[in-house]
Amino acid sequence: MFSEIKEGLQISKEKVVKNHDLASTMCTGKVEVLATPAMIAFMEQCCVALVEPLLPEGYDSVSVEMNVKHVGAAKEGVRLKCNVHLKYRDNNKLFFDVAIMDENHQKIGIGAHERYIVNHQEFTDHL
């Protein structure tokens, strides 16, 4: 099942840092730079964008682990690029490498992310 989801798949997505992405706005700091939670959300959104179109009707992927380093700062208005690589797949477990760079190719964040493919109905019935 999920035969189209193969190791080696990649995607790149871009976004511009907005006011709602800033640490000062998210109350995670006082500086007006990209907040770590906003960076992580962008990473997860890009991983979802890679696999979601390949999932059959009624299936979804859920986040189970995130290991990141926020290594650079980005102010409001800076264009970010997120590169995602599906490094490994073990049945329903998906393991991604993720990197975010700014428009000057400076690293902003790097990490590894794990998602699990679930049947949406079965998953929500157990909640």
**pLDDT for the residue 127:** 86
**pLDDT for the residue 48:** 98
Alpha helices, DSSP H only, in 18-99? 23-26, 36-51
In this structure, what token pair is assigned to residue 40? 């992580």
pTM to 2 decimal places: 0.95
Residues 126, 38, 99, 48: is their CA dihedral positive or negative?
positive
- The residues near 90 (Cβ < 8 Å, ≥ 6 apart) are none
Per the CB < 8 A criterion, the answer to whether 92 and 116 are in contact is yes
Mean pLDDT to the nearest integer, 89-104: 97
Beta-bridge mates of residue 102: 80
Domains and CATH numbers, the chain: 10-125 (3.10.129.10)
pLDDT above 90 coverage of the chain, percent: 96
